[in-house]
Homo-oligomer: A and B are copies of this chain.
Amino acid sequence: MRVQLIVGAAWRPRLDVVNPTKYGDAVVYTSEYPIFAVTVDVVCLTIRRDQLHVLLVRRGGAPYRGKFALPGGFVDVEEDLDDAARRELVEETGIDLTGLVIEQLATYGRPDRDPRQRTVSVVWLAVAPDLPETAAGSDAAEAHWVPVTEVEHRPRRLAFDHGAMLDQGLARARAKLEYTSLATAFCRPEFTIAELRRVYEVIWGSGLDPGNFHRKVTGVAGFVVPTGEQVRRGGGRPAQLYRAGPATVIQPPLLRTTFG
């Protein structure tokens, strides 16, 4: 298959886009390769009111008008993929993840996944602490934090194949909780051990023994580092404050069995 491109001034042809010719006032290049659009989508998770939430946007146009979708959009020509994910998140929801780590989840590229054109989407997983409501930017009007219980394992609830993306993101997050320090990403910069425990309890959906959890977490080198300060949050003994440590993998992992 051969495709010919008439290209505007902003686009620089690459080496093996060959045979420039002229049709009228436009330059015509020829490419040997199929043409794709590339998008990014973001599964952005947080915990609000002791419930796991995902950031979704209501679609304004066809197809899937009125349905929820993951925030995302087209990658620019000279833009890195993770930069595109962060940019789209700000544009569509007002959430700025500068300084936070995002992780590539998978790439979805079934030929029929977008009825308009052949599109490949690189999906990213982001975890944010409990943030203020989605900033009301112009595009952000229809962005919402939705409890995952309302959309998980329901492929038809979300537009395109975003239901599968979300499920994969949730599975990844639950799994990485066991053997990485991902849980600290759900907390604010300084947190108590009990707040960290809440993260595990919410995401795994089971109660953990406070004493054992405290010992385990503080015993893993580099997982959490004490700030030396205390905090009083209502009745009970004040808790030590901690920051996320340099460790990224937890060895041995926190087990998800009974544990409490």
Contacts and interface: CB of A to CB of B under 8 A. Distances in A.
Size band of the interface chain A makes with B? 35 or more
A168 to B, nearest CB: 10
Given A4-B6, A8-B1, A26-B4, A15 B81 contact: no
Contact of A5 (B6, B10, B24, B111): B6
A129 to B, nearest CB: 26
A115 interface: yes
Nearest to A84: B109
Given A23-B23, A34-B74, A115 B11 contact: no
B120 A38 contact: yes
Q: How many copies of this kind of chain does the complex include?
A: 2
Contacts of A111: 77-80
A122 B107 contact: yes
SS class, residues of chain A in contact with chain B? loop
A16 interface: yes
Given A2-B8, A4-B6, A111-B80, A117 B37 contact: no
Contacts of A37: 31, 33-36
A15 B109 contact: no
A127 B11 CA distance: 39
B106 A15 contact: no
A172 to B, nearest CB: 12
Contact of A81 (B6, B10, B38, B109): B109
Nearest to A1: B10
Interface in A34-66: 34-38
Contact of A34 (B14, B76, B115): B76
Nearest to A108: B81
Contacts of A110: 80-81
Contact of A109 (B2, B4, B80): B80
A104 interface: yes
Contact of A120 (B1, B3, B120): B120
Interface of A: 1-8, 10-11, 13-17, 23-24, 26, 28, 31, 33-38, 74-81, 104, 106-107, 109-111, 114-118, 120, 122
16 contacts: A1-B8, A1-B11, A3-B5, A3-B11, A6-B6, A16-B117, A23-B28, A34-B76, A36-B38, A38-B38, A77-B111, A80-B111, A81-B110, A81-B120, A107-B107, A107-B122
